[in-house]
Structure 1
Amino acid sequence: MRLIPISCVKEGSILAQTLYDKDGRILLQKGVELNEGLLKKVKDNGTYMLYIHDEYSSNEIEDIIEPKIRIAAINALRETFSSFEKYNKQLKEKTGSLKERQLFKQREDYLQNLSTISKNIVDEISSAKNILVNLVDIKSLDSYTYEHSVNVTVLSLVLGVELQLSKNELYDLAIGAMLHDIGKVFLPKEILMKKEKLTDEEYAIAKEHTSRGYHYLKEHYSIPGQARIIALQHHERMNGSGYPNGISGNQITKLAKIIAITDTYDAMTSDKPYKKAVTPLEAIEYIMGSAGTLFDFEMAQTFVRKIIPYPVGTLVRLSNGDYGVVEEVPPNFPLRPKIRIIRQNAVNIEMVQVDLLKETNLVIEGIQYEAPNLSVQHYLKQNK
């Protein structure tokens, strides 16, 4: 199982992870053989990366949480955001109608449901042992906000558990992560859905989602104070270069510092209408390079140790020109896996296992999405 851009997916490849549409319904079932028509269907869904099984790898990569819990969380967020929008519209019309009261009750019910799901995710992740993140969540552009929020929740809890947060702190972290982008319901749709890069004026409006979300959540006493502050501070940075208030260091709450890292990682590894996703390694390098300036140093260092940028089955390119398939990833050293090297000379092709923990002169230069040549591709098929 490996993640590749849809432009590199060949007809006949097998889909390795079930794909969902913007409403949470199954678009393509895991195990289906991909053809031109199905690949077009995927593109029309606003999805540009896929997990597939092919000649390089047939291994499984499990999600950190159960798929049914992830889908339930995404749907709960969609309903919650929608109810907030409707209630806010009704308030602007100032009708004081029965409908307004019904929407208020509905909104509170959705928040309670979201809180319950958040606690379920906390319980699932906190009971697991030594979780490593080796899966990038595939998002549809139409459902990006909801899918992103759920993924930020999962990543934040993985980091929170590693930082030994208490159960109550993890609950606050989870609901705060779920709702960290709730302020986007107050932004113009044309800015949220714009397919080009935002202008400076549009970006200034987009940044208002932090303060708008916080002030709206202040009305809901069922949402813990620390969770509400996450909505306000998740774009603040350690050196004071963030927004909305340009605060720094210990002025930023602990939970908001966590979300700052996980929100950045998931955003960077997700496709946008105006910008393609970067690889997990590029996102890790950015976070590592920004540790102590943009992000809390200890938290950033802990987070990057939990991410596997080259999961088992990934086809990679090495600094000496060799190509290989990742076979084993050692704990705490995700950049130094064991690799099955594919070497070709004038006579034959051979496979050699290399341990990058021992071969310190070699580094992975990047992911190879397509076969280096046809003979290597044929050899892998025969020796899968």
Structure 2
Amino acid sequence: MRYIPIEKTEQDMILARSVYDNTGRVLLSCGTVLTDEYIDKLYDRGLPGIYIEDKLAEDIEIEEAISEELRNEGAEALRNGDVDAAMGVGRRIVDEIIQNPRVTLDLIDLRSYDDYTYRHSVNVAVISTVIGINMQLNRLALDELSIAAILHDIGKRRIDPKIINKKGKLTPEEYTEVKRHSEYGYEMVKSRIDLSAKIKNAILLHHENEDGSGYPKGLKGNQIFIYAKIIHVADVFDALTAKRPYKKAYAQSEAAEYLMGSCDRMFDREVVKAFLQCVSLYPKGTQVQLSNGKEALVVEATKSPLRPKVRIIEDGTDMDLSSLYEYRNITIVPPHDGDIS
């Protein structure tokens, strides 16, 4: 299968993954042949793209970190403000991921504009858990981390939806209010005896920066608990790679560059290192431009994160860019303006 941005979707393409609405109901099933009417509806919903099946990509398999059913269940729990259900989903996220601890984050989440907030929190829990596994956290810590991550933005329920969903630039007053969401979230859970102090701490402090420039307390370095540091990295990465009404999605390679460039200022360097071990800078099934002018599909990652194995779209030839003997003069051209194909 391969990923096609919504603006490049064409009639008669065949869906490789089902498309869901924001309540978890199937809108279009895997195997559906697309029509212009279907494409218009997907575009109107704000989906960034779809996965399709064709001969060129029929052998490219992309594993899900967690099942689509669990993603939808988590989003629904958050939509309803059901903390107990969200906690259960957090634990089950760990259950599913530890069954395949070598999973890499290849799959692009096909979320619509109106489903962003809830799917984002589920994604942050998934990414945080995979980072935690790479940092060799024990099972109790992974459960706590995943629960804190899925609840990290719950305080946004206390903020006017018009501000949260505003398409334009926030006013200084609106931005100040949005920044209070971590404190609101802490207030919402601080009296619960079934949530540890570590979880509550992470919800409160997930926007703290290594150099003390974050909020709400302006903590530095070792003053920030590890769960908050991990969630901070996962949160920013997922936000950058999401398509929103007011911005294009960053490519995963661009978002990773941002994280690396912000080490010791915003992010903990060791957390970013662990993150880079589990994220695909060039996800399988996505299209890239090569320095020789050819367009190619990413087939699989190699030991060199910046040089995956690719397939030339023009003739179907595979090239392992990590083979410097054969292809050292060929590189992937960075995407422009946050574009991802």
Q: TM-score, normalised by structure 2?
A: 0.91
Structure 1 residues not aligned, in runs of 5+: 82-109, 344-348, 372-384
Aligned to 1:337: 308
Structure 2: distance between partners of 1:276 and 1:52: 21
Q: Secondary structure at the match of 2:117?
A: helix
Contact 2:128 2:149 in 1 (8 A): yes
Q: Secondary structure at the match of 1:4?
A: strand
Q: Secondary structure at the match of 1:211?
A: helix
Contact 1:314 1:367 in 2 (8 A): no
Aligned to 1:140: 112
Q: Sequence identity of aligned pairs in percent?
A: 40
Aligned to 2:21: 21
The structural deviation recorded for 1:25 is: 1.1
Between Structure 1 and Structure 2, whose CA radius of gyration is higher? 1
Contact 2:182 2:216 in 1 (8 A): yes
Structure 2: distance between partners of 1:350 and 1:266: 31
Structure 2: distance between partners of 1:3 and 1:227: 36
The AA in structure 2 aligned to 1:158 is V
The AA in structure 2 aligned to 1:77 is L
Aligned to 1:4: 4
Aligned to 2:125: 153
The structural deviation recorded for 1:352 is: 5.8
The AA in structure 2 aligned to 1:66 is S
The structural deviation recorded for 1:341 is: 3.8
Aligned to 1:68: 69
1:26-41 paired onto structure 2 within 5 Å: 26-41=26-41
Structure 1: distance between partners of 2:110 and 2:23: 14
Q: Secondary structure at the match of 2:333?
A: strand
Q: Secondary structure at the match of 1:222?
A: coil
Taking a change above 3 Å as real, the CA distance of residues 139 and 325 of structure 1, as seen in their structure-2 partners, is closer
**Which of structure 1's runs of 4+ aligned residues deviate more than 6 A?**
367-371
1:180 and 2:152 are equivalent in the alignment: yes
Structure 1: distance between partners of 2:170 and 2:87: 33
Contact 1:239 1:293 in 2 (8 A): yes
Structure 2: distance between partners of 1:370 and 1:181: 26
Aligned to 1:232: 204
1:289 and 2:261 are equivalent in the alignment: yes
Taking a change above 3 Å as real, the CA distance of residues 32 and 238 of structure 1, as seen in their structure-2 partners, is same
The structural deviation recorded for 1:268 is: 0.6
Taking a change above 3 Å as real, the CA distance of residues 307 and 77 of structure 1, as seen in their structure-2 partners, is same
The AA in structure 2 aligned to 1:362 is I
Matched positions, count: 336
Structure 2: distance between partners of 1:370 and 1:138: 13
Contact 2:14 2:53 in 1 (8 A): yes
Deviations 1:95-137 (A, max 9, x none): xxxxxxxxxxxxxxx4333222221221221232312111121
Q: Secondary structure at the match of 1:10?
A: coil
The structural deviation recorded for 1:295 is: 0.5
The structural deviation recorded for 1:197 is: 2.2
Deviations 1:52-82 (A, max 9, x none): 2345423331211122222222222222x2x
Taking a change above 3 Å as real, the CA distance of residues 129 and 193 of structure 1, as seen in their structure-2 partners, is closer
Deviations 1:264-284 (A, max 9, x none): 011111112211211111111
Aligned counterpart in structure 2 of residue 356 of structure 1, from 313, 319, 322: 322
The AA in structure 1 aligned to 2:66 is I
Aligned counterpart in structure 2 of residue 267 of structure 1, from 225, 239, 255: 239
1:47-62 paired onto structure 2 within 5 Å: 47-54=47-54, 56-58=56-58, 59-62=60-63
Q: Secondary structure at the match of 2:319?
A: strand
1:190 and 2:162 are equivalent in the alignment: yes
Structure 1: distance between partners of 2:49 and 2:213: 32
1:101-120 paired onto structure 2 within 5 Å: 110-120=82-92
Aligned to 1:220: 192
Point out the more displaced range, 56-65 or 178-187. Answer: 56-65
Q: Please, what is the CA RMSD of the aligned residues? A: 2.2
Taking a change above 3 Å as real, the CA distance of residues 370 and 335 of structure 1, as seen in their structure-2 partners, is closer
Structure 2: distance between partners of 1:55 and 1:351: 13
Taking a change above 3 Å as real, the CA distance of residues 199 and 318 of structure 1, as seen in their structure-2 partners, is same
1:211 and 2:183 are equivalent in the alignment: yes
The structural deviation recorded for 1:249 is: 0.5
Contact 2:78 2:154 in 1 (8 A): no
Structure 1: distance between partners of 2:292 and 2:114: 41
Contact 1:315 1:367 in 2 (8 A): no
